[in-house]
């Protein structure tokens, strides 16, 4: 595993909030894995930033796995199973609308992660409420997921990608009592990364 390079990304706060659960989770694992090379990267909620920053990371340090986290709906964690080539007409943190309705003008309508999403769901659901999703929201999370898959298809070093939505910080999970706080996000992030490394080691990624 010492040749494995894992990149974990989260997002900056948006919509007037001061905390983004995805970045809390990403930071929680920053110094937790000494047997692999691990980087964490905060993505700005700005149209076009995912491609610019993730492409630069792939060119600079050639990660073998990228796990991207975003803030989604309250109640549960969601593993995204499809990336749509579509942007909503929604303002980013710079108050700008997307430059076009498509993420990539000449790209396919959809990309699909090569991670075994159902296997991830089953393993993560042992401790947390986790479901599969086919709607990444058409905002910066969608753009990031689509970008990840396009980069994987064009970079032989990038072997597996995954995108997971986390409940917003401070909201209550579906059990009606567990708050999505630093402790819960750290526990989920470590379980997710442990699962990711085990699946990667077992070689159960989907080949295109």
Q: What region does 60 belong to: left with phi over 0, alpha with psi -120 to 50, or beta?
A: alpha
Q: 12: which 2 tokens?
A: 């900056």
User: Which residues are catalytically annotated?
Assistant: 80, 141, 165
Length of the chain: 208
Collapsing DSSP to helix, strand or coil, 67 comes out as strand
Rg of the chain over Cα atoms, rounded to whole angstroms, equals 16
- Spatial separation of the C-alpha atoms in residues 172 and 195, rounded to whole Å: 24
Q: Please check whether residue 63 is in contact with residue 6, taking contact to mean a CB–CB distance below 8 angstroms.
A: yes
Q: Which residues contact 67 (CB under 8 A, 6 or more apart)?
A: 6, 7, 8, 9, 161, 162, 163, 164, 192, 193, 196
């Amino acid at each position: 595993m010492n040749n494995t390079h894992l990149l974990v990304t989260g997002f900056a706060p948006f919509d007037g909030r001061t905390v983004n659960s995805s970045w809390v989770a990403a930071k929680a694992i920053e110094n937790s894995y000494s047997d692999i090379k691990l980087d964490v990267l905060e993505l700005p909620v700005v149209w076009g930033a995912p491609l610019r920053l993730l492409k630069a990371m792939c060119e600079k340090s050639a990660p073998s796995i990228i796990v991207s986290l975003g803030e989604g709906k309250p109640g549960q964690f969601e593993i995204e199973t499809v990336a749509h080539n579509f942007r909503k007409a929604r303002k980013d943190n710079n108050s700008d609308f997307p430059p076009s309705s498509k993420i990539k003008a000449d790209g396919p309508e959809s990309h699909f992660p090569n991670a075994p999403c159902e296997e991830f769901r089953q393993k993560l659901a042992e401790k947390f409420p986790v479901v599969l999703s086919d709607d990444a929201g058409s905002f910066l999370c969608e753009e990031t997921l689509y970008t990840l898959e396009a980069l994987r298809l064009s970079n032989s070093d990038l072997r597996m990608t995954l995108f997971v939505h986390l409940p917003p910080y401070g909201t209550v999970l579906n059990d009606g009592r567990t708050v999505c706080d630093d402790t819960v996000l750290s526990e989920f992030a470590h379980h997710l990364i442990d699962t990711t490394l085990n699946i990667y080691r077992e070689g159960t990624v989907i080949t295109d």
